[in-house]
Structure 1
Amino acid sequence: MNDFLKDKTVLITGASNGLGAEMARQVAQQGAHTILTARRTEKLADLAADIEMKFDVSSRYFKMDMTDFAEIEQVAEQLGDTKVDVLVNCAGFGIFEEAVTTDFDTVERMFDTNVLGLMRLTQLILPRMIERKSGHIINIASQAGKIATPKSSAYSATKFAVLGYSNALRMEVKPDNINVTTVNPGPIATSFFDIADKSGNYLDNVGFLVLKPEKVAAKIVAIMGKGRREINLPFLMNIISRTYQVMPRVIEFFGKGSFEKK
């Protein structure tokens, strides 16, 4: 249990399914009120109703497309003076395709969703956290932001950007008693791969590394309200990405077979 969450408010983007939805259930189970956003409001409505029925907390939801900055601003305005204790930027998508053939409209949409939308929402939520001198921002990045692999150039670029933004932001808001955590998971068994992996084989190819969303969510929920810098999962991928920082050529040479399983 994380006692910090009792009667706190947690805003989660990309909450309609997968990791976002699982985090929403787990924080509500521990007494937190939830604000849920995604593009598909029908799933949000069902999730919010289920949370309120099971856990006796409030759960609000808003339609918010992370590529639509006007819509992000509108949601922030609707929230008004709502006290957001934890912001979890979870919305995102990727595709596995070589850089030369990746549709550039898709690249732009990926950056808008994974990076610019995240930055804009954070920018709108932060002022009230700074006023209160408290808050926690959790950005879901990826092991792809630590070590890039073939057929993930655009996606990796977005996650490298999220890590850079988060690292700078952490130093800026530390005097205001605001925590910034990045979460860097490997592959998670969610609908993310319905879009990312056209072949449908990737999760099977890297089966022993695949994470369960329930496990990842539990680790994130456990550190809410705490000054944790990063969560890196799974352990083996974290070791590889750390080694890559000092021996990139060695990892690229010996990891070639694994990198090309997409």
Structure 2
Amino acid sequence: MINERIKGKTVAITGASGGLGEQIAYLCAQNGADLILLARNIEKLNQLSTRIRDQYGVKCKGFELDVSKPEQISQVFKRIYETEGEIDVLVNNAGYGIFSNAIDINFADLEGMFAVNVIGLITCTREVIPYMCKRKSGHIINIASQAGKLATPKSSVYAATKHAVLGFSNSLRMELSEHGVFVTAVNPGPIHTDFFQKADPEGSYLKKLGQFILDPKKVARNIVSVMLKNHREINMPRWMNWTATLHTIAPRTVESLGRKAFFKK
């Protein structure tokens, strides 16, 4: 058992139709949590929900949701609270990135990344805050990125969105601390998921990463293990987080020594 605290609790996960979100869902179900799965692809969600219910005997329901549409978020969460009850843990996992130099990125991608990674995340969070504060219990987990701590070439806009997620999480953590609601920021490095199909269609960056790319099951395990625990951050891998920490102390040195690696995208 990874986390007995979530047994019988309800965990809502955005971007749950695949990748990290799917792995988090499986692990939560293994630990006896009921699940609310949110994503645009309702067919995948329904298939995943059926597998989870059949295999683990927990409640699991999928809701179609495009987090880039705030009005849809409000409608869906209202329906969730009316039909499924309280949410104990919200995992803001939905997000995407496009690797491109700032001068080359088109406005649709710029707007889209902020709509999903930042505005969508904040809007979903605002939907659960009143209920969690009223109950004096709950946990909001925001999937950020090591890019939010150390920006590198060809990820300027994506890094900007993740910097925003970290800033939001750090402020929110203090705001909700007096209400008994926990806020955790998750800062992984590159994870072996479909993220790179959109971020790096040619696959060159993924190949260059080799053994340094993270296993989504391992990342999910770390996330589920801290649910309903007052845990500030999850940083993976450690060496990448050390580099980001060193960058805050000696940015010129890190940017100079790491230049070759930073330009691998």
Structure 1 length normalisation: TM-score? Answer: 0.99
Alignment partners' CA distance in 2, 1:198 and 1:61: 29
Q: Retained in 2: the 8 A contact 1:89–1:140?
A: yes
In the other structure, the counterpart of 1:95 is: 98
Moved over 6 A (4+): none
How far does the alpha carbon of each residue in 1:125-180 deviate from its partner, in whole angstroms, 9 at most, with x for none?
Answer: 11000000000000000000000000001100000000000000000000001100
Whether 1:43 and 2:44 are equivalent positions in the alignment is yes
Q: Provide the aligned C-alpha RMSD in A.
A: 0.7
Residues 161-170 or 66-75, more deviating: 66-75
In the other structure, the counterpart of 1:24 is: 25
Residue 92 of structure 1 and its aligned partner are, at CA, apart by 0.2
- 1:112 corresponds to which letter in structure 2? A
- The sequence identity of aligned pairs, in percent, is 50
Please list, as runs of the form range in 1=range in 2, the aligned pairs for 1:175-254 lying within 5 A after superposition: 175-254=178-257
Aligned length: 262
Residue 201 of structure 1 and its aligned partner are, at CA, apart by 1.2
What SS does the aligned partner of 2:178 have?
helix
In the other structure, the counterpart of 2:5 is: 4
Structure 2: gaps of 5 or more residues: none
How far does the alpha carbon of each residue in 1:204-262 deviate from its partner, in whole angstroms, 9 at most, with x for none?
Answer: 11123200000000000000011110000001101100100100000100111111111
Structure 1: gaps of 5 or more residues: none
What SS does the aligned partner of 2:183 have?
strand
Alignment partners' CA distance in 2, 1:79 and 1:213: 27
Q: Retained in 2: the 8 A contact 1:148–1:156?
A: yes
In the other structure, the counterpart of 2:35 is: 34
In the other structure, the counterpart of 1:52 is: 53
Residue 191 of structure 1 and its aligned partner are, at CA, apart by 0.2
What SS does the aligned partner of 2:147 have?
helix
